[in-house]
Structure 1
Amino acid sequence: MSIPQLCDDSFSRIASLMHSAVGLSFSQSKKPLMNSRLAGRLQQLGLRGFEDYAALLESADDGGEFQVAVDLLTTNETYFFREPAHFALLQSELQRSRPQRLAVWSAASSFGDEAYSTAMLLSDLQAQGSIGGDWSILGTDISERVLQSAVQAIYPAERLREVSDQRLKRYCLRGEAESEGLVQIRESVRSHVRFGQLNLCMPIDDIGTFDVVFLRNVLIYFDPPTKSAVVDRVLSRLRPGGLFFLGTAEGRVPCNTPLTVLAPGAYRKGPAK
């Protein structure tokens, strides 16, 4: 069977649906990416072409296929302690402020690498007496599939390439036999982390307020107006003076919430003093 090719009409239909439903933005330059990410799915479903797939996504009874398409179009590489300068800054700030309670939100948590990286850091700081034991991390994502994986907390060892040997010993279990090459995060870390599904383009339920928010490497999927709306929506859940992290390659996003720049991709909520 030949690989299905995405025509302009089907691309426009799928892109329009993704934008209206979940805020994802796909310019014409993303057409090859959409083709490559979804072509295999068409073959799995036995569909003749992207016209049929677009019709399936548009139907009221899609059998959950829309969520599958979102998963395929938004999954990107992730690994533990990505952009280490952010974690170093977080450590420095917490060692200075020494909070007894701490709430962190990983707002685009994907497979959980970011949430568990933060949990390892906070576990270290708690052991050092720099923070209290009352800390928690919420990881949210639009993809149910990646959240299910995050809860299991099992990863290829290569994804933990930036984790120190000491942390690997303290916080990870190495797989053996048929599980060789896999690593599971220990329960002592996982007990501080919970996950839930959330669409950043919709009003956010009362999930509480946070002292630290990560919103990294997800804004690339949104157009400029959606980016600004998402950032303000997320920042409404960050307490004044809290820390906010964007992907360093994403640059500062225009928003109505005052932010003070601390470092590339790192901000404090509130105007500079």
Structure 2
Amino acid sequence: MPELSDATYRQIAALMHETVGLSFSDSKKALVSARLSQRVQQLSLDSFDAYLGRITTDADAAEFQVAVDLLTTNETYFFREPQHFELLEQELNRLRPQSLSVWSAASSFGDEAYSIAMLLSDLQQQGRLGSDWSILGTDISDRVLRSARQAVYPEARLRFVSPQRLKRYCLRGEGEAEGLVQIQDRLAERVQFGQLNLCRPIEPLGPFDVVFLRNVLIYFDSDTKRAVVDRVLALLRPGGLFFIGTAECRVPCATPLQSLAPGVFRRLPGPAR
């Protein structure tokens, strides 16, 4: 098993920070070593230095993406933090909009985006939302986006989906696919996915009425968090809802916000402070 030296670790950490904004303190060295060591062995490399050489060359951009995938945790499931979906439903019940544009800005495997789609589809069928609604899911990881587009999940990931929604929007696998669930095409087609680095200028998107940026800010240092949040909020309409993870505390940004509930904010009119 190769050993990750302090010097090489600092170079890997610096590369991840400069390119995708990931922040790894000295205390995360063991975690980085554990997540990358198996990959180093799979490539038959004799050191982490050799692996660093691989991911820093333009010719091996694909391997850099593999490293990013390994260093970011993508644990997720449908209707995670259900109070956020309840608040969104209450807000839409109040407004009854005819159109709605939602952005899942760190969509991972798509659980969040398809959860939102289930809720919006229900509201449309009940006459509480117009038919002109759409969801965009973005992530930096090409691997998780490919999985999201396939829209196939282990049953355990849908443990908080009601039996009624499972019947309306999902197909259960049989035979070799037993234990898997596929999102029905009529719902999946309402969700689009694309690759996006939140730490770089964002191409023209939006504007959006609702933005979810949950459980991703934990990977960034304070300066990067502030830049990412303001960059994302620039695409949220004044009055729109902004969701972060309930454990991510007060959101650092210059954009004026009103706190509504843990992890939920409304963007206020006016320029960034």
Q: Name the TM-score, length of structure 2 as normaliser.
A: 0.97
Q: Identify the residue that residue 192 of structure 2 maps to in structure 1.
A: 194
**Contact 2:243/2:265, CA 8 A, preserved across alignment:** yes
Equivalent residues, number: 270
Structure 1 residue 63: Cα displacement: 5.2
Q: Work out which of the residue numbers 113, 131, 143 in structure 2 matches 1:133.
A: 131
Structure 1 residue 271: Cα displacement: 6.5
Displacement over 3 Å in runs of 4+: none
Matches within 5 A, 1:1-273: 3-62=1-60, 64-270=62-268
Q: Distance in 2 between matches of 1:62 and 1:123?
A: 42
Q: Distance in 1 between matches of 2:4 and 2:224?
A: 26
Structure 1 residue 260: Cα displacement: 0.2
**Contact 1:91/1:121, CA 8 A, preserved across alignment:** yes
* Residues 185-232 of structure 1: CA deviation (Å, up to 9, x unaligned): 011111110000000000110112100000000011110000000000
* 2:94 aligned counterpart, secondary structure: helix
* 2:59 aligned counterpart, secondary structure: coil
Structure 1 residue 59: Cα displacement: 2.0
Q: Distance in 1 between matches of 2:75 and 2:149?
A: 18
Q: Name the TM-score, length of structure 1 as normaliser.
A: 0.97
Change (3 A) 1:271 1:237: closer
Structure 1 residue 238: Cα displacement: 0.2
Higher deviation after alignment, 78-87 or 58-67: 58-67
Using the aligned pairs only, state the percent identity: 69
Q: Distance in 1 between matches of 2:58 and 2:102?
A: 36
**Contact 2:55/2:61, CA 8 A, preserved across alignment:** no
Q: Distance in 2 between matches of 1:258 and 1:67?
A: 34
Structure 2: give runs of 5+ residues left out of the alignment: none
Structure 1: give runs of 5+ residues left out of the alignment: none
**Contact 2:238/2:269, CA 8 A, preserved across alignment:** no
Over the residues paired in the alignment, what is the CA RMSD in angstroms? Answer: 1.1
